[in-house]
Amino acid sequence: MLYEKALRSKKNVEALIERISQLKVGRRKIMEVCGTHTYAFFRFGLRKLLSCYVDFISGPGCPVCITTDSYIKKALILAEDKKNVIATFGDLLRVRTRSGSLEDMRAKGADIRMVYSPLDAFLIAKKNKRKRIIFLSVGFETTAPLIAATIKQAKSEKVDNYFILCGNRLIPPAMRTLCEDKDIRIDGFICPGHVSAIIGVRPYRDIARKYKKGCVVCGFEPVDIVWSLYLLLKQIKEKTPKVENTYTRVVKTGGNRRAQELLKEIFYVDDASWRGLGVIKKSGLFLHKKFSQFDAEKLVTKNVEESSLPKGCRCGEVIKGKIKPYECSQFGKRCSPNSPLGPCMVSFEGACRIYFEYGRGI
Ligand code: SF4
C-alpha cells in the first residue's frame, strides 16, 4: 500500500517534472510502444501535464490493431465449418474485414466463444472431444508462454482436437522497423513493461546502439512513467542513448528464463506480417514441426488474400505513429467504440479507442 502511494504521489511526480524542466531539451518525440502505457498516460493525466516536454506517439503494441485482415479472414473460414469451435479474446470479434467480422459470423450461428485465456480454450477442447477447438493465438511475448504451455500440455495428454491459429508477434523487430523508417522521427522509446518481464532488457540494446534511440523499460504507475521520461530526456541531452530499466520490481535483466525456454521449445521465429508495418523479418512465432499437429493453418481450406482497410481508415499510419488518431477524418464520426471502422478503435489498448474515451489529451 505504502509502495503504491509513493508511486502515485503527486509530490514525487511534481519533483520529477521539475527535473525534466531543468533539462531544457525542447519537446521530444517519445514513442510508448505498448497500448497499456498509452492508457496509463491518459488515465493519470500525464499526457497533458507533460505536453510541453514530450510529444507522445503511440506505437504498435496493441495485439488486435496489428493483427492482419488475412488472419481474421482465416478465422472466418475456420468458423464456417460446423466441426470447429473458435475460441478467442473478445476484442478480435469486432474487427471488421471486407468479408465481415467474427461477431457477424457468430450472429449467423457459428460457434465462436470468448475466452480470457488459452487455458480456457484448452479445457473446452478436453470437454468437447467431437469438436475441433481453435484458439486464435494473437498477442506478443507476454501471452505467448501461456499458449506454448497449452500446446505442451495438449501433446503430453494427447488432446488431438486442440489447435491454435498462429498470430503471435515479437516487439523488438517492430521497433527496429520503426527506427529504419525515415518518415518517422522517434527520439526514444518507453518500452513495454509486460513484454519486458518475459524478454528482459537485452533485446533493446541494439536499438540503442545501432539506431541511437534511448530505451527505458517502464511500469504503469505515474512515478514509473515520469521517472522513465526524465531518464530518456536526460539521455537525449547527454547524447548517451542506452537501455535503462525503471521497472526492476517486475523486469529482470535476463527476463523470465523459463518462459523463454518454453517459447523456444514450442515455437520457431520467422518473418511475419503486421497490419500497418508489412512483413517484418523474424517477428512472428510459429509452431515447430514437432507440434504441427496443433497448427490450425492446415485446416484453412481456401486461399486468403490480404485486403486493405475500410475506406477512410488510417489505422496503418496510427500504428506507425505517423498520425494521431484525431487526424483521421473518420475519428468520432463514422468511427467510434460502438461502431469501430478500424481495429485501432476496437481494443482498450488501441490508440484510437483510448483517444476517443479520454479526449484528445493534447
Ligand atoms: Fe481507423 Fe477509426 Fe482510427 Fe480512423 S479513427 S484510423 S477509421 S480506427
SS3 sequence of the chain: CHHHHHHCCHHHHHHHHHHHHHHCCCCEEEEEEEHHHHHHHHHCCHHHHCCCCEEEEEEEECHHHHCCHHHHHHHHHHHHCCCEEEEECHHHHHCCECCECHHHHHHCCCCEEECCCHHHHHHHHHHCCCCEEEEEEEECCCCHHHHHHHHHHHHHCCCCCEEEEEEEECHHHHHHHHHHCCCCCCCEEEECHHHHHHHCCHHHHHHHHHHCCEEEECCCCHHHHHHHHHHHHHHHHHCCCCEEECCCCCCCCCCCHHHHHHHHHHEEEEEEEECCCEEEEEEEEEECHHHHHHEHHHHCCCCCCCCCCCCCCCHHHHHHCCCCHHHCCCECCCEECCECCCHHHCCCCCHHHHHHHHCCCC
Pairwise pLDDT comparison (58 vs 305), residue with the higher score: 58
Q: Give yes or no for residue 331 CB within 6 A of ligand 1.
A: yes
* Mean pLDDT across the chain: 94
> What pLDDT, on the 0 to 100 scale, is given for residue 360?
60
Q: Residue 311: pLDDT above 90?
A: no
> What pLDDT, on the 0 to 100 scale, is given for residue 362?
46
The pLDDT > 70 percentage for the chain reads: 98
Q: Give yes or no for residue 335 CB within 6 A of ligand 1.
A: yes
Q: Residue 58: pLDDT above 70?
A: yes
> What pLDDT, on the 0 to 100 scale, is given for residue 361?
46
pTM score of the predicted model = 0.94
Identify which of 58, 66, 91, 315 to mutate to test ligand 1's pocket (most ligand atoms within 8 A of the CB). 315
Q: How far is the CA of 67 from the centre of ligand 1 (A)?
A: 15
Average pLDDT over residues 208-231: 96
pLDDT tens per residue across span 154-174: 999 999 999 999 999 999 999
Q: Residue 52: pLDDT above 90?
A: yes
